[in-house]
């Protein structure tokens, strides 16, 4: 048996297969299909201090092998999250990670400060890469200096593991990766969705209510693999790779590029047991290859 | 009763074209799953084991027939209207093929079997209302009458007329071109039946449901409406399928597809 555990700061994930923020709700929505305790971690839906309505519909558009979304971080806000959503997490025996969003640095810091008090939340993922909100979101993640500044500010108030989620909508992702590391991040999530658009030729209007959206799914996989590869060369902290992972072969590709853990996003919609299928396929492959520890293959494609 | 959502591989038992663009698919299904299906619920179909089309397609349950004697001999019907690649791929499957589905999903109709019912269907919206009519006790023969108003563009577009006739006390048709039944819209033939004490169920294209809303409001009536929208997860996790409602966004996949007309200002269409 391969040792599947992954360390992120002081947190140990039991295996590298996690589910991506915004695609797995508040952790319980897929419980009819399998026990979420089998996952390495659950990244919860993007959370802000105040409840948010999100963007007007239409919020989803299917594209070739991809999905454009403009949800706009609709969420229940911190107070209702604690009162209504965290109790159900008690039944899930794996790491649960909050996805932290805000309009200002102060919002991020305040939310992180409050989350630090919530026992059931094991870590925070700083979402400075959401393309679907007008204020905050991707604005912080597009430049290295603001990435470092916001990471450092949150780091000061948040003692648990801190993961920074990078946007691919930058010229060179290595710059923001280094900035997040310098600011004190324990890990990086690479990557969030690619800014995109689809236009209805009959109405001559953008299909999404928000006009633009974030592209995810198999369509972005080669782009995401390249970004994981680049980040692996630029930083020492572990990388949670994501972007179009649908089956175990895709997961192996991300590990070889340099990811230590993986997130399954859009594939949950296509195949509700995708994370478990990936986990089981990965376990078989690692055993067949005689790999004793996951770290042996992380970034192995970069050797020589 | 099982209320679990499942991922299933269903074997297609029969595929029957009903007109140029619509076909009736019958799958084998375990009887206990068939018995757990409620009218208004849907299954999410994966058209192809591939990435294009990527997402599942929601299709309403048109009928579910558990077999009391045989646990594996239940049947479930779906009515598929071809509007694009996903529905085309479903319609061309040959009997014997297995299709990957997730369900049953969504919030069903909640009928009161003791009250008279008015069912108002437009286009492929006939599917869930057919199942509803079939599941009401007495199949129209009892004390509580079932009136079924059904509208289409033209005569050829009507499907399942004989089945609906058997399941209801009264079937009234409307076509936009006057080729069968009343010439005009289904809302016009439904209007005289809008009465206190009658429970009303509506499923059809959004312009039709939007035309129903003021008719209901003028009379102080409410109806149960079945909504449609593009779906992501289908299980309430992504907030992708929302439509505007009076109390905020409504997730079609799990707050719906069946909602009360009171919860809507208007029916969303993209
Ligand atoms: C809860 C629910 C229940 C449904 N039940 C049924 C059912 O029982 N039978 C059935 O045939 N369909 C049903 N639908 C609609 C069905 O899901 C869509 O028609 C299907 O997803 C379209 O996929 P496609 O790949 O064929 O077309 P796409 O390529 O996705 O779309 C092709 C074209 O059709 C248009 N289109 C998309 N959705 C619809 C729609 N709902 N009606 C008309 N045009 C549309 C698109 O705007 C586009 O122009 C249901 C939808 C929902 C949400
Ligand atoms: C519908 C939807 C909602 C999302 N919501 C969030 C979110 O709230 N916070 C976040 O950091 N990422 C969000 N994402 C991005 C995913 O977490 C993931 O990084 C991205 O989709 C790439 O992975 P995938 O191709 O496997 O989906 C969302 C993605 C989708 C498709
Ligand atoms: S489709 Fe995801 S919440 Fe409805």
For residue range A17-31, what is the model confidence (pLDDT) as tens digits? 999 999 999 999 999
The answer to whether A62 touches B55, Cβ cutoff 8 Å, is yes
Tell me which chain B residues have a C-beta less than 8 angstroms from the C-beta of A30: 235, 237
- Closest protein CA for atom 3 of ligand 3: B236
Tell me which chain B residues have a C-beta less than 8 angstroms from the C-beta of A88: none
pLDDT tens for each residue of B148-189? 999 999 999 999 999 999 999 999 999 999 999 999 999 999
CA B251 to centroid of ligand 3, rounded, Å: 6
Structural domains of chain A in order of their starting residue, each with its CATH number: 6-56+74-198+216-302 (3.20.20.70)
- Closest protein CA for atom 43 of ligand 1: B83
Subunit contact A268:B233, Cβ cutoff 8 A: yes
pLDDT tens for each residue of B41-75? 999 999 999 999 999 999 999 999 999 888 889 99
Distance CA A148, CA A178 (A): 8
Tell me which chain A residues have a C-beta less than 8 angstroms from the C-beta of B229: 57-58
Distance CA B60, CA B24 (A): 12
Among the partner-chain residues B54, B236, B243, the one whose CB lies closest to the CB of A217 is B54
Active site annotation includes A130: yes
Tell me which of B191 and A135 has the higher pLDDT.
B191
Mean of pLDDT values over A27-52: 97
**How far off is chain B from A3, nearest CA to CA, in Å?**
30
Among B103, B240, B266, the strongest candidate for a mutation testing the A interface, having the largest count of A CBs within 10 A, is: B240
The answer to whether A130 touches A102, Cβ cutoff 8 Å, is no
Tell me the whole-structure pTM to 2 decimals. 0.96
How many Cβ atoms sit within 10 Å of the Cβ of residue A277?
18
Q: 3-class SS at B104?
A: strand
Q: How much is the pLDDT for B262?
A: 96
Distance CA A256, CA A94 (A): 25
Determine whether A233 is exposed, middle or buried from the number of CB atoms within 10 Å of its CB (0-12, 13-18, 19+).
Answer: exposed
What percent of chain A clears pLDDT 90, i.e. is strictly above it? Answer: 95
Subunit contact B5:A33, Cβ cutoff 8 A: yes
CA nearest to A270 within chain B: B55
**How far off is chain A from B45, nearest CA to CA, in Å?**
9
Distance CA B190, CA B128 (A): 18
> Could you identify the atom of ligand 1 that is nearest to the CA of residue B229?
53
Q: How much is the pLDDT for A118?
A: 97
Residue B140 has pLDDT above 50, yes or no: no
Q: How much is the pLDDT for B143?
A: 75
CA A297 to centroid of ligand 3, rounded, Å: 36
Tell me which chain A residues have a C-beta less than 8 angstroms from the C-beta of B236: 25, 29
Tell me which of A1 and B148 has the higher pLDDT.
B148
**How far off is chain B from A143, nearest CA to CA, in Å?**
28
Q: How much is the pLDDT for B1?
A: 47
Q: How much is the pLDDT for B142?
A: 59
CA nearest to A274 within chain B: B7
Subunit contact B4:A32, Cβ cutoff 8 A: yes
Ligand 2 contacts CB of residue A167 (under 6 A): no
CA nearest to A271 within chain B: B7
Q: How much is the pLDDT for B2?
A: 52
Of B91, B86, B89, B90, the C-alpha closest to B53 is: B86
């Amino acid at each position: 048996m391969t040792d599947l555990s992954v360390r992120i700061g002081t947190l140990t994930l039991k295996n590298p297969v996690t589910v991506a923020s915004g695609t797995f709700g508040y952790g319980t929505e897929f419980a009819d299909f399998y026990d979420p305790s089998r996952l390495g971690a659950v990244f919860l839906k993007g959370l802000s201090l105040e409840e948010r309505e999100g963007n007007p519909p239409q919020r989803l558009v299917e594209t070739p092998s991809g999905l454009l979304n403009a949800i706009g971080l609709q969420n229940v806000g911190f107070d209702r999250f604690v009162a209504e959503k965290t109790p159900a997490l008690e039944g899930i025996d794996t790491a649960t990670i909050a996805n932290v969003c805000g309009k200002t640095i102060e919002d991020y810091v305040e939310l992180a400060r409050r989350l630090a008090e919530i026992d059931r939340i094991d870590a925070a993922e700083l979402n400075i890469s959401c393309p679907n909100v007008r204020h905050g979101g991707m604005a912080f993640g597009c430049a290295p200096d603001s990435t470092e500044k916001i990471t450092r500010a949150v780091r000061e108030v948040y003692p648990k593991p801190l993961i920074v989620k990078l946007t691919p909508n930058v010229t060179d992702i290595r710059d923001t990766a280094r900035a997040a590391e310098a600011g004190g991040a324990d890990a990086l999530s690479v990557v969030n969705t690619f800014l995109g658009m689809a236009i209805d030729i009959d109405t001559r209007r953008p299909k999404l209510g928000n006009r633009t959206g974030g592209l995810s799914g198999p369509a972005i996989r080669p782009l995401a693999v390249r970004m994981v590869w680049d980040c692996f060369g630029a930083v020492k902290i572990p990388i949670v790779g994501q972007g179009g992972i649908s089956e175990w072969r895709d997961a192996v590709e991300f590990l070889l590029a340099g990811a230590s853990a993986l997130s399954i996003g859009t594939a949950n919609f296509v195949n509700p047991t995708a994370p478990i299928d990936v986990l089981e396929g990965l376990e078989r492959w690692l055993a067949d290859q005689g790999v004793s520890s996951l770290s042996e293959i992380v970034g192995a494609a970069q050797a020589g | 009763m099982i209320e679990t959502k499942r991922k299933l591989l269903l074997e297609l038992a029969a595929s029957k074209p009903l007109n140029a663009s619509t076909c009736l698919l019958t799958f084998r299904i375990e009887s206990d799953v068939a018995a757990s299906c409620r009218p208004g619920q849907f299954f999410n179909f994966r058209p192809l084991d591939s990435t294009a089309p990527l997402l599942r397609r929601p299709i309403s349950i048109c009928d579910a027939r558990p077999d009391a004697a045989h646990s594996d001999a239940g049947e479930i019907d779906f009515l598929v209207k071809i509007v694009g690649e996903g529905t085309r791929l479903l319609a061309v499957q040959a009997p014997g093929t297995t299709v990957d589905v997730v369900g049953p999903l969504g919030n069903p109709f909640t009928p009161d079997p003791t009250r008279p019912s008015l069912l108002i269907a437009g286009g492929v919206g006939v599917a869930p209302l057919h199942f509803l009519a079939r599941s009401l006790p007495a199949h129209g023969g009892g004390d509580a009458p079932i009136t079924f108003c059904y509208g289409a563009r033209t005569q050829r577009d009507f499907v399942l007329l004989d089945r609906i006739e058997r399941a209801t006390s009264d079937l009234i048709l409307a076509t936009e071109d006057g080729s069968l039944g009343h010439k005009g819209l289904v809302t016009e033939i439904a209007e005289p039946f809008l009465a206190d004490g009658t429970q009303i169920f509506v499923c059809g294209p959004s312009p039709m449901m939007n035309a129903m809303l003021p008719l209901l409001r003028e009379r102080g009536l409410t109806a149960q409406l079945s909504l449609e929208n593009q779906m992501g997860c289908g299980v309430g996790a992504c907030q992708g399928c929302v439509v505007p409602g009076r109390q905020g966004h409504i997730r079609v996949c799990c707050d719906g597809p069946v909602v009360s007309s009171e919860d809507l200002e208007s029916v969303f269409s993209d």
